[in-house]
């Protein structure tokens, strides 16, 4: 009899990848959680055989119903989704804090809600693995130097809750849980105009950033590679594991040069990097002052202290490196017309 995996965020990048991986295996059935199963994006999954269930991350009882009967749960939260919500802005103004902090609080509570639901007796009866898509605490990694990398710390707080909360431990969830820290998306150019910029003087391209672009960072083709890594954690890796979700370790300088070579363009600037000051960078990023501070502290902490601690495993440590795609393979697959045409 096939097992059941429940996927939170099935219409998103990570959830979609996880669903693809499990759908390809007849030993598994997929149940996708969505607020509105009637939406076209959800119905595309239904057409592929996914069971859709309506649930709300703010409603623990709805999550319990959605999780019941599962052998595995992939749980994730979206820090960025509420950032422009008028109610979030209103609450931030009323409390005298930034919307970035409100989003962090929401993300942590929603992550805890999923854990509480997964720890319920009716869910624990069948549950074997709970995988949460988290991140490291930059406050801890930086020794308290950087405390406003909100979307890292908010996810880390969920992990800490699952690991150490007495009720999570006694219910058995802590002993069934693992975590994946998904790296920098190879398609972040879709979300930021600073990732691939045309230089009008040389007709080449560069990336705008605050450093020289030589530090190595974890890139992941998240829509392709998240799923195989999560499936490996569920099926073959003992619980208690924290895995870095990475397709390839490379520098931003290397990334831009691979891109230029793939599309037949030349790198501009300093071998594909245009370094600017932190002040210039946050001006270009835009947003409220608290958002700028959030982005700046995230960048600085990553540059100085890395993205994860020493207790995080890499795909090679669990025998998963053969499941992954390289940056060049991603580049060759991608449609770059929207980048090239805008120039």
Q: State the CATH number of the domain containing residue 40.
A: 3.40.50.720
Spatial separation of the C-alpha atoms in residues 288 and 14, rounded to whole Å: 28
- pTM of the predicted protein model: 0.96
Range of the domain at 52: 3-184+220-246+294-324
pLDDT for the residue numbered 178: 99
The DSSP result for 100-149, as a single string, is HHHHHHHHHHHHHHHHHHHTSHHHHTT--EEEEEE---HHHHTTTS----
pLDDT for the residue numbered 278: 86
pLDDT for the residue numbered 249: 97
Determine, yes or no, domain membership for 336: no
User: For residue 343, is pLDDT > 60?
Assistant: no
pLDDT for the residue numbered 67: 99
Spatial separation of the C-alpha atoms in residues 77 and 106, rounded to whole Å: 9
Angle at 102 between CA 99 and CA 104, to 5 degrees: 115
pLDDT digits (tens, 9 = 90+) for 152-192: 999 999 999 999 999 999 999 999 999 999 999 999 999 99
Q: Count how many domains the chain has.
A: 1
Determine, yes or no, domain membership for 114: yes
Determine, yes or no, domain membership for 282: no
pLDDT for the residue numbered 120: 99
Determine, yes or no, domain membership for 213: no
pLDDT digits (tens, 9 = 90+) for 89-114: 999 999 999 999 999 999 999 999 99
Task: Tell me the pLDDT of the chain averaged across its residues.
Answer: 95
Determine, yes or no, domain membership for 101: yes
pLDDT digits (tens, 9 = 90+) for 134-150: 999 999 999 999 999 99
Residue 160 burial by CB count (10 A; 0-12/13-18/19+): exposed, middle or buried? middle
pLDDT band at 80 (very low <50, low <70, confident <90, very high): very high
pLDDT band at 121 (very low <50, low <70, confident <90, very high): very high
User: For residue 285, is pLDDT > 90?
Assistant: no
């Amino acid at each position: 009899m096939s097992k059941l995996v429940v996927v939170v965020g099935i219409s998103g990048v990570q959830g979609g990848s996880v669903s693809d991986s499990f759908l390809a295996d007849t030993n598994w059935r997929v149940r996708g959680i969505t607020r509105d199963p009637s939406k076209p994006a959800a119905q595309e999954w239904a057409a592929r055989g996914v069971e859709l269930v309506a649930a709300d991350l703010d409603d623990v009882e709805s999550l319990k119903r959605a999780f019941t009967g599962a052998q595995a749960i992939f749980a994730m939260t979206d820090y960025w989704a509420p950032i422009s919500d008028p109610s979030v802005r209103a609450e931030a103004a009323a409390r005298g804090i930034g919307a970035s902090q409100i989003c962090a609080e929401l993300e942590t509570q929603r992550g805890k809600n999923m854990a509480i639901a997964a720890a319920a007796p009716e869910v624990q009866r069948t549950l074997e693995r709970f995988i949460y898509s988290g991140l490291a605490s930059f406050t801890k990694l930086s020794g308290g130097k950087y405390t406003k990398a909100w979307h890292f710390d908010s996810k880390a707080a969920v992990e800490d809750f699952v690991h150490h909360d007495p009720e999570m431990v006694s219910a058995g969830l802590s002993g069934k849980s693992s975590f994946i820290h998904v790296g920098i998306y190879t398609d972040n150019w879709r979300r930021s105009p600073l990732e691939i910029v045309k230089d009008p003087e040389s007709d080449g391209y560069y990336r705008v950033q605050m450093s020289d672009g030589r530090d190595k960072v974890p890139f992941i083709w998240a829509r392709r590679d998240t799923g195989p890594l999560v499936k490996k954690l569920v099926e073959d890796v003992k619980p208690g594991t924290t895995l870095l979700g990475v397709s390839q370790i490379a520098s931003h300088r290397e990334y831009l040069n691979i891109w230029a070579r793939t599309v037949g363009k030349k790198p501009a600037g300093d071998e594909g990097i245009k370094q600017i000051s932190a002040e210039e960078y946050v001006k270009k990023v835009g947003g409220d002052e608290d958002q700028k501070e959030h982005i700046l502290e995230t960048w600085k902490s990553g540059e100085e202290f890395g993205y994860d601690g020493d207790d995080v495993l890499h795909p090679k440590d669990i025998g998963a490196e053969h499941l992954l795609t390289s940056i060049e393979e991603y580049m060759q697959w991608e449609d770059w017309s929207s980048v090239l045409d805008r120039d």
